[in-house]
Structure 1
């Protein structure tokens, strides 16, 4: 399996595992999380689409390192998994810290 694809899948699984079994911030059950993720990924489409367009790419990927499946606007699908992992990690840690501060000192 190509390296970028493998690292993207691993990153997604690690973040999901951390949320479900370690931090338990509860973001996956919140509509606000899914709305924020949708908004971020929509803007990712615009920026990533411009950066990776095959007609005049700014960012060039080594074809042997990813699946070479692109959707939409020539965006490698791995970029969405990587974006999911980054956004979820930040929001998960933010919500976890907020939950801890609302509990008070232990």
Structure 2
């Protein structure tokens, strides 16, 4: 399975956890999206620094685009593959949904 397919599956699974498994429905609130926009800005800075400097490398056959590192385009945003945004979203949403569910109890 490619990194792209895994990232897509992770995003869908996170939405399912939020909407149906835990019924927290965080993605339906403006507060969630405001908080996530702050988080994603720092994620892009961190991922961009790591991939732009060559500390983290990706196989061009497993991601959207090629293995060539560019700031924008070729499947990259600030040097990081777009799949990293999917995985980051899934990680943050799942963590926050679990946290919210525990808080609700």
- CA distance in structure 2 between the aligned counterparts of 1:23 and 1:14, rounded to whole angstroms: 12
Aligned length: 96
Q: Check conservation: 1:52, 1:58, Cα contact below 8 A.
A: yes
Higher strand share: 2
* Structure 2 gap segments, 5+ residues each: 66-74
Residue 70 in structure 1 maps to residue 80 in structure 2: no
Aligned residue number for residue 103 of structure 1: none
**Structure having the higher Rg:** 1
TM-score by length of 2: 0.85
Higher helix share: 1
Q: What are the equivalent positions in structure 2 for 1:69-88 lying under 5 Å apart?
A: 69-71=75-77, 73-88=78-93
Identify which of structures 1 and 2 has the higher relative contact order when contacts are C-alpha pairs closer than 8 Å and 6+ apart. Answer: 1
Aligned residues of 1:25 and 1:99 also touching (Cα < 8 A):
no
Task: Structure 1: give runs of 5+ residues left out of the alignment.
Answer: 101-106
